[in-house]
Copies of this chain bind each other. A is one copy, B any other.
Amino acid sequence: MNSDMLGRITRYYRALNRLRSIGLEKVFAHNLADAAGVSAAIVRKDFSLLSIHGQKRGGYEIEELIKKLAQILGKGESENVIIIGCGRIGKALMHYSGFEPDGIRVVAGFDSDPLVYADASNPIPVYPMSRLEEVVEAMNVKVAIITVPENAAADCYSRLVETNIEGILNFTPVTLKSRNVNGSMRPVVHNINIALELEQIFYEIQFLGKED
Protein backbone atom coordinates (compact mmCIF):
# COMPACT_ATOMS: atom_id res chain seq x y z
CA MET A 1 0.00 0.00 0.00
CA ASN A 2 1.50 3.37 -0.96
CA SER A 3 1.47 6.32 1.44
CA ASP A 4 -1.37 8.13 -0.37
CA MET A 5 -3.62 5.12 0.01
CA LEU A 6 -2.54 4.65 3.62
CA GLY A 7 -3.41 8.29 4.29
CA ARG A 8 -6.87 7.74 2.85
CA ILE A 9 -7.43 4.52 4.82
CA THR A 10 -6.55 6.22 8.10
CA ARG A 11 -8.89 9.09 7.17
CA TYR A 12 -11.73 6.66 6.43
CA TYR A 13 -11.05 4.90 9.73
CA ARG A 14 -11.13 8.16 11.65
CA ALA A 15 -14.36 9.29 9.95
CA LEU A 16 -16.00 5.90 10.59
CA ASN A 17 -15.25 6.06 14.31
CA ARG A 18 -16.82 9.50 14.47
CA LEU A 19 -19.90 8.42 12.53
CA ARG A 20 -20.31 5.45 14.84
CA SER A 21 -19.97 7.66 17.91
CA ILE A 22 -22.97 9.72 16.74
CA GLY A 23 -25.07 6.59 16.27
CA LEU A 24 -24.87 5.85 12.54
CA GLU A 25 -24.82 2.26 11.33
CA LYS A 26 -24.40 2.57 7.57
CA VAL A 27 -22.31 4.81 5.39
CA PHE A 28 -22.03 5.48 1.66
CA ALA A 29 -18.81 5.81 -0.31
CA HIS A 30 -19.55 9.47 -0.96
CA ASN A 31 -19.77 10.21 2.80
CA LEU A 32 -16.31 8.78 3.34
CA ALA A 33 -15.10 10.55 0.23
CA ASP A 34 -16.18 13.90 1.70
CA ALA A 35 -14.49 13.13 5.00
CA ALA A 36 -11.24 12.12 3.32
CA GLY A 37 -11.25 14.84 0.68
CA VAL A 38 -11.32 12.49 -2.33
CA SER A 39 -13.93 11.34 -4.84
CA ALA A 40 -16.38 8.49 -4.17
CA ALA A 41 -14.81 6.59 -7.06
CA ILE A 42 -11.47 6.53 -5.21
CA VAL A 43 -13.15 5.22 -2.03
CA ARG A 44 -14.77 2.40 -4.03
CA LYS A 45 -11.49 1.61 -5.76
CA ASP A 46 -9.60 1.52 -2.42
CA PHE A 47 -12.22 -0.79 -0.89
CA SER A 48 -12.24 -3.05 -3.90
CA LEU A 49 -8.42 -3.35 -3.70
CA LEU A 50 -8.87 -4.35 -0.04
CA SER A 51 -11.67 -6.81 -0.94
CA ILE A 52 -14.28 -4.82 0.98
CA HIS A 53 -17.72 -4.92 -0.61
CA GLY A 54 -20.86 -2.93 0.26
CA GLN A 55 -24.47 -3.70 -0.53
CA LYS A 56 -25.80 -2.21 -3.75
CA ARG A 57 -28.37 -0.01 -2.05
CA GLY A 58 -27.57 0.19 1.63
CA GLY A 59 -23.94 1.26 1.52
CA TYR A 60 -21.38 -0.18 3.93
CA GLU A 61 -21.92 -1.46 7.50
CA ILE A 62 -19.89 0.91 9.69
CA GLU A 63 -19.11 -1.68 12.36
CA GLU A 64 -17.81 -4.17 9.81
CA LEU A 65 -15.77 -1.53 7.98
CA ILE A 66 -14.14 -0.38 11.23
CA LYS A 67 -13.14 -3.95 12.06
CA LYS A 68 -11.65 -4.56 8.62
CA LEU A 69 -9.77 -1.26 8.49
CA ALA A 70 -8.52 -1.71 12.07
CA GLN A 71 -7.05 -5.04 11.02
CA ILE A 72 -5.41 -3.47 7.96
CA LEU A 73 -4.02 -0.60 10.05
CA GLY A 74 -2.69 -2.96 12.72
CA LYS A 75 -4.86 -1.49 15.48
CA GLY A 76 -5.09 -3.09 18.88
CA GLU A 77 -1.36 -2.74 19.49
CA SER A 78 -0.27 -0.19 22.07
CA GLU A 79 -0.59 3.31 20.65
CA ASN A 80 1.25 5.01 23.52
CA VAL A 81 3.20 8.10 22.56
CA ILE A 82 5.74 10.24 24.43
CA ILE A 83 6.71 13.85 23.87
CA ILE A 84 10.35 14.90 24.05
CA GLY A 85 10.66 18.60 24.78
CA CYS A 86 7.86 20.17 26.77
CA GLY A 87 8.04 23.78 25.63
CA ARG A 88 5.02 25.55 24.20
CA ILE A 89 4.45 23.20 21.28
CA GLY A 90 5.10 20.07 23.35
CA LYS A 91 2.70 21.29 26.04
CA ALA A 92 0.05 22.16 23.44
CA LEU A 93 0.28 18.59 22.12
CA MET A 94 -0.06 17.18 25.68
CA HIS A 95 -3.41 18.95 25.92
CA TYR A 96 -4.46 18.18 22.35
CA SER A 97 -7.82 16.43 22.28
CA GLY A 98 -7.59 15.36 18.64
CA PHE A 99 -5.62 12.16 19.40
CA GLU A 100 -8.30 10.39 21.44
CA PRO A 101 -10.72 9.54 18.61
CA ASP A 102 -7.80 7.70 16.98
CA GLY A 103 -6.88 5.74 20.09
CA ILE A 104 -3.55 7.52 20.47
CA ARG A 105 -2.54 8.25 24.06
CA VAL A 106 0.20 10.68 25.08
CA VAL A 107 1.47 8.92 28.21
CA ALA A 108 4.51 10.94 29.23
CA GLY A 109 6.68 13.93 28.47
CA PHE A 110 10.44 14.42 28.83
CA ASP A 111 12.44 17.56 29.35
CA SER A 112 15.96 18.42 30.44
CA ASP A 113 14.84 21.43 32.51
CA PRO A 114 13.90 20.71 36.17
CA LEU A 115 11.55 23.72 36.13
CA VAL A 116 9.58 21.89 33.45
CA TYR A 117 9.66 18.30 34.65
CA ALA A 118 8.98 19.23 38.26
CA ASP A 119 5.99 21.43 37.35
CA ALA A 120 2.89 19.99 39.04
CA SER A 121 0.51 21.57 36.50
CA ASN A 122 1.53 19.22 33.70
CA PRO A 123 -1.52 17.18 32.56
CA ILE A 124 0.61 14.02 32.19
CA PRO A 125 3.80 12.90 33.97
CA VAL A 126 6.90 14.72 32.74
CA TYR A 127 10.27 13.06 33.43
CA PRO A 128 13.88 14.16 33.20
CA MET A 129 15.66 12.91 30.06
CA SER A 130 17.73 10.55 32.21
CA ARG A 131 14.66 8.35 32.71
CA LEU A 132 13.91 8.00 28.98
CA GLU A 133 14.93 4.36 28.48
CA GLU A 134 13.29 3.16 31.66
CA VAL A 135 9.90 4.78 30.93
CA VAL A 136 9.90 3.72 27.26
CA GLU A 137 10.41 0.13 28.33
CA ALA A 138 8.00 0.18 31.26
CA MET A 139 5.15 1.69 29.22
CA ASN A 140 5.92 -0.23 26.03
CA VAL A 141 6.16 3.00 24.04
CA LYS A 142 7.03 2.67 20.36
CA VAL A 143 6.52 6.23 19.07
CA ALA A 144 7.96 9.59 20.19
CA ILE A 145 7.13 13.16 19.19
CA ILE A 146 10.15 15.49 19.17
CA THR A 147 9.43 19.15 20.01
CA VAL A 148 12.82 20.20 21.39
CA PRO A 149 14.64 23.38 20.28
CA GLU A 150 16.46 23.10 16.97
CA ASN A 151 19.93 22.86 18.55
CA ALA A 152 18.87 19.89 20.72
CA ALA A 153 17.29 17.87 17.90
CA ALA A 154 20.29 15.82 16.78
CA ASP A 155 21.25 14.91 20.34
CA CYS A 156 17.69 13.97 21.22
CA TYR A 157 17.51 11.76 18.12
CA SER A 158 20.75 9.93 19.02
CA ARG A 159 19.30 9.16 22.44
CA LEU A 160 16.00 7.91 21.07
CA VAL A 161 17.57 5.44 18.64
CA GLU A 162 19.28 3.79 21.60
CA THR A 163 15.85 2.95 23.10
CA ASN A 164 12.99 0.71 21.95
CA ILE A 165 11.40 3.62 20.05
CA GLU A 166 10.54 2.58 16.47
CA GLY A 167 8.80 5.67 15.13
CA ILE A 168 9.40 9.42 15.44
CA LEU A 169 7.30 12.45 14.55
CA ASN A 170 9.76 15.33 14.35
CA PHE A 171 8.55 18.92 14.69
CA THR A 172 12.02 20.51 14.80
CA PRO A 173 13.29 22.21 11.64
CA VAL A 174 16.20 19.74 11.52
CA THR A 175 15.55 16.95 9.00
CA LEU A 176 16.06 13.64 10.80
CA LYS A 177 16.90 10.57 8.73
CA SER A 178 16.35 6.85 9.29
CA ARG A 179 19.35 4.55 9.27
CA ASN A 180 19.66 1.24 7.49
CA VAL A 181 19.70 -1.44 10.21
CA ASN A 182 20.02 -4.94 8.82
CA GLY A 183 18.17 -3.97 5.66
CA SER A 184 15.27 -2.05 7.21
CA MET A 185 15.19 1.73 7.59
CA ARG A 186 14.95 2.55 11.30
CA PRO A 187 13.36 4.26 13.01
CA VAL A 188 10.37 5.36 10.91
CA VAL A 189 10.70 9.17 10.83
CA HIS A 190 8.12 11.71 9.70
CA ASN A 191 9.43 15.27 9.62
CA ILE A 192 6.93 18.13 9.96
CA ASN A 193 8.69 21.41 9.25
CA ILE A 194 6.17 24.18 9.83
CA ALA A 195 8.32 27.02 8.46
CA LEU A 196 9.04 24.94 5.36
CA GLU A 197 5.32 24.34 4.76
CA LEU A 198 4.72 28.10 4.94
CA GLU A 199 7.62 28.75 2.55
CA GLN A 200 6.14 26.30 0.07
CA ILE A 201 2.74 27.97 0.33
CA PHE A 202 4.31 31.37 -0.35
CA TYR A 203 6.08 29.86 -3.33
CA GLU A 204 2.92 28.28 -4.73
CA ILE A 205 0.70 31.36 -4.40
CA GLN A 206 3.00 33.25 -6.77
CA PHE A 207 1.65 31.09 -9.57
CA LEU A 208 -2.06 31.52 -8.85
CA GLY A 209 -3.85 33.30 -11.70
CA LYS A 210 -3.89 37.01 -10.94
CA GLU A 211 -7.17 37.64 -12.81
CA ASP A 212 -9.03 39.22 -9.90
Q: Chain A: residues with CB nearer than 8 A to chain B?
A: 3, 6-7, 10-11, 13-14, 35-37, 73-74, 77, 79, 81, 87-89, 91-93, 95-96, 98-99, 101-102, 104, 142-143, 145, 150, 166-169, 173, 175-177, 181-184, 186-188, 190-192, 194-206, 208-209, 211-212
Contact = CB atoms under 8 A, between A and B. Distances in A.
Given A95-B88, A96-B88, A6 B200 contact: yes
B208 A184 contact: yes
A173 B98 contact: yes
A145 B145 CA distance: 21
A190 to B, nearest CB: 5
Contacts of A91: 88, 92
A14 B202 CA distance: 14
A93 B211 CA distance: 33
A138 to B, nearest CB: 19
B209 A200 contact: no
Contacts of A36: 175
29 contacts: A3-B200, A11-B175, A36-B175, A37-B176, A37-B177, A37-B191, A73-B199, A73-B202, A74-B206, A77-B202, A88-B91, A88-B95, A89-B92, A91-B92, A92-B92, A96-B194, A98-B173, A98-B195, A99-B194, A99-B195, A167-B201, A181-B209, A183-B209, A186-B208, A187-B205, A187-B208, A190-B197, A190-B201, A192-B197
